[in-house]
Structure 1
Amino acid sequence: MHHRTAVIVGASLSGLMTALTLARIGIHVTLLERSDDTGRTGAALHAPGDLLQRITGLDTSRLPRTLSPGIQTWFAVHAALRAAADADPRIELRQNTTVCRVAQDEQSAWAVTADNRTHHADVIIGADGHRSVVRRHVIPNKPDATFSGYLIWIGIADESAIRPAHWPRNVAFLTSRDDTLLGYPLPGADGSTAAGARRIGWAWYDASNNDLLRATGCLDGTVVRHSLLAPSIPDATYAELARRAHAQFPSPWSDAILDSIDRHAVIGTPIAEYVPDRLVNGRIALVGDAAHVPTPMTGSGFSESLHDAEALATALATTAHTNPSAALAAYEKDRLVSARTLVQSGQGFSRAFARGAL
């Protein structure tokens, strides 16, 4: 292996997965993350235990438990990945470090941070999400993901608080005239699967509140800037959601939604989509949501990010490649069609669901 260092911009799920796969082939990784892990948001995702075990190397006893096949909370998956990264001496995580720009020449690539520090490496990997700074270097003529025309309200309720008459066994997919709801049973915050200690998660697709997104600055034209956090949701919107939930969704899903609303423990996430034309520019590459942004309705974002990480490691480990740019070009050849197909597979749902709401 000729290439020994990488800087990864972003230490969310795809950044951590990429760091773990690259460290496994002997690359020393510096992770640059703008947050300190407080205030992170996330609902649930499809992350079967075998995928988590494959990427973390942790035995099953140290992985988060699940109720529905493969459904995990974002926080549990992040914690498992973070624990594995913290245990690897080849991975250095630097939090509260905002990357302003990236660049490269024939000898190296580098990331410049807000504190005027420059971090050099053989390759730079953008894992910085749908508002990727790194993407602006890789694809300067198409830097932004675009709003898909709807948002998702998300929340989690404790079984002990809602005391449902029956407990769901599997993920529920519910539709009404104007809304779509995904509901999923989850272990408790401590990982417990005992009756009374579990939780219910829900994700409510809604195309009727786009004006609220614009009024609160979540949208700038067609570009998603940020999520709508609980304190910024008007009381009138909470009341409207409660009325609709009661009218449209059965127990226990309506119970979970109403409990979350009562506690003002709801987040509204505008959904963006991005079909990539490329994944690589020289020594700089994209993975995860920086590379491809599908609607969550595809249910494949986590697994596709893992495939990105593993394909990148395979390309960089291949002895036939004599320079980083060639290795990253091989990664792009392996992953670009799949990345484009992933996003396009969900665009039909987005167009039908938004119904001109833009």
Structure 2
Amino acid sequence: MSLGTTDKQRETAIVAGASLSGLMTALTLARAGLEVTLLERSARKSRTGAALPVAEGLLGRLTGRSETAYQSIPSGAQAWTDVHASLREAVQSEAHIDLQAPVTVTSAGEDDRSAWVSTDRGEVLHADLLVGADGHRSAVRGLVSPETPNAVFSGYVIWLGLVDEASISAPAWPSDLAILYEGDYCLNAYYLPGEDGSTTRGRRLGWGWYDAGHNELLRKAGVVRGNVVQRTLRPDDMPDSLFRELARDARHYWPEPWREAILDCLARRSIIGTPIGEYLPDRLVTQRICLVGDAAHLPSPMTGRGFSASAEDALALGDALERHDSIGEALRRYEADRLQPARGLVRSGQSFSRSFASRGAGQ
């Protein structure tokens, strides 16, 4: 008899973190028959410019239902914000998921009978299962791997931006993706559907500019401390000199239409800087706690597979819970399915990170 069947009380789960991996995991846990409490510390999510490769029929696989019941997520390259909005809408329509935000998990633990979290609301919440989906700075990770609780700063930042194609006068790039190396920089640039889903002349241009030369700025702003990434660099954290420098280098290094797209974003102060960390897991589970997504395995974005791996985590965990009668058995199956692929994914990006970060040595 699998977990959550109708002839016994539904098992319960707490998912810490309602970014992409947390939303997907909440959907698969509800599909498996669990009552899910989903906790998110941020009232609003935004990831300017980031693009994700979405597999065909993803939402249907996560929920076990026809995608016509939800705002479908088109396959192919999609904007981070669009995917997040669709997943959140699906979560909010699911009766067995209680999404609470903003709520910060301040501590967590487990024993033979349950797992629990304490929150900044002064509550202590108990459940049969605790899932850490709380990203690269996961608080739950320290319970699973106390010897290695932190992701390690990889030595570079990615500047991200997004602009409507209609704002750009330059001719279109001949393909949907460009990967360019110039000087000490790397640029990934791509076309995304417009906000209305258009894939013709109503698209958006997204870009990610890899830069290993501003590590001192990251440390001065407090977004990197020691070898640990703390947060994303927002425009208010960025000095005017940085915008001028990036605009100068964009004019020098990048071809159209990416040059114009980058200059447009810089002029609007509509960029973010994401310091890149990496985390190679040794384990994914304890007795009643598991990790998914960036909390479990944090690869370089150059792998292009972080989102897909998070979806695979969510699906594997849901499948394991459906197949096994106990939380412990299900978590052991989940780790057996996902640990080695997760380690392989992280390792696949490490050679790029080490080579690219060396360009910023001495910064």
TM range (shorter): over 0.9
Match of 2:195 among 156, 172, 189: 189
Aligned partner of 1:262 in structure 2 is 267
Contact 2:58 2:73 survives alignment (8 Å) = no
Aligned partner of 1:62 in structure 2 is 71
Contact 1:168 1:185 survives alignment (8 Å) = no
Contact 2:131 2:290 survives alignment (8 Å) = yes
1:240 and 2:245 correspond: yes
Q: Distance in 1 between matches of 2:357 and 2:231?
A: 19
CA deviation vs aligned residue, 1:304-354 (integer Å, no higher than 9, x gap) = 1111111111211224x4x31222122111111111111000000000111
Q: CA deviation at 1:168?
A: 4.6
Stretches of structure 1 that go unaligned for 5 or more consecutive residues are none
Contact 2:49 2:207 survives alignment (8 Å) = no
CA deviation vs aligned residue, 1:132-182 (integer Å, no higher than 9, x gap) = 010011111111001001000000112222222235531111111311111
CA deviation vs aligned residue, 1:73-124 (integer Å, no higher than 9, x gap) = 0011001111111111111101111001111111111111111201111100
Match of 1:327 among 311, 325, 330: 330
* TM-score when normalising by structure 2: 0.93
Contact 2:48 2:162 survives alignment (8 Å) = no
Match of 2:54 among 47, 61, 71: 47
Aligned partner of 2:183 in structure 1 is 177
Q: CA deviation at 1:55?
A: 2.5
1:338 and 2:347 correspond: no
CA deviation vs aligned residue, 1:169-199 (integer Å, no higher than 9, x gap) = 311111113111111111223333342x321
Contact 1:65 1:187 survives alignment (8 Å) = no
Query: Quick check: 35-44 or 25-34, which moved more?
Result: 35-44
1:118 and 2:127 correspond: no
Match of 1:213 among 207, 218, 243: 218
Give the SS at the match of 2:57.
helix
1:355 and 2:362 correspond: no
Give the SS at the match of 2:360.
coil
Give the SS at the match of 2:299.
coil
* TM-score when normalising by structure 1: 0.94
- Inter-CA distance 187–356: structure 2 relative to 1 (3 Å threshold): closer
Q: Distance in 2 between matches of 1:72 and 1:53?
A: 17
Q: CA deviation at 1:52?
A: 4.0
Aligned partner of 1:300 in structure 2 is 305
Query: Quick check: 105-114 or 50-59, which moved more?
Result: 50-59
| Corresponding residue pairs, total | 352
Aligned partner of 1:290 in structure 2 is 295
Contact 1:45 1:72 survives alignment (8 Å) = yes
Aligned partner of 2:156 in structure 1 is 150
Aligned partner of 1:32 in structure 2 is 39
Q: Distance in 2 between matches of 1:345 and 1:39?
A: 27
Query: Quick check: 217-226 or 34-43, which moved more?
Result: 34-43
Q: Distance in 2 between matches of 1:345 and 1:59?
A: 36
Q: CA deviation at 1:231?
A: 1.5
Give the SS at the match of 1:137.
helix
Aligned partner of 1:22 in structure 2 is 29
Query: Quick check: 323-332 or 132-141, which moved more?
Result: 323-332
Amino acid at match of 1:118: V
Amino acid at match of 1:27: L
Identity of aligned pairs, percent?
A: 51
Contact 1:16 1:85 survives alignment (8 Å) = yes
1:249 and 2:258 correspond: no
Contact 1:151 1:206 survives alignment (8 Å) = yes
Aligned partner of 1:160 in structure 2 is 166
Q: Distance in 1 between matches of 2:162 and 2:49?
A: 10
Stretches of structure 2 that go unaligned for 5 or more consecutive residues are 5-10
Aligned partner of 2:14 in structure 1 is 7
- Inter-CA distance 20–60: structure 2 relative to 1 (3 Å threshold): closer
Q: CA deviation at 1:65?
A: 4.8
Match of 2:113 among 101, 107, 112: 107
Q: CA deviation at 1:235?
A: 0.9
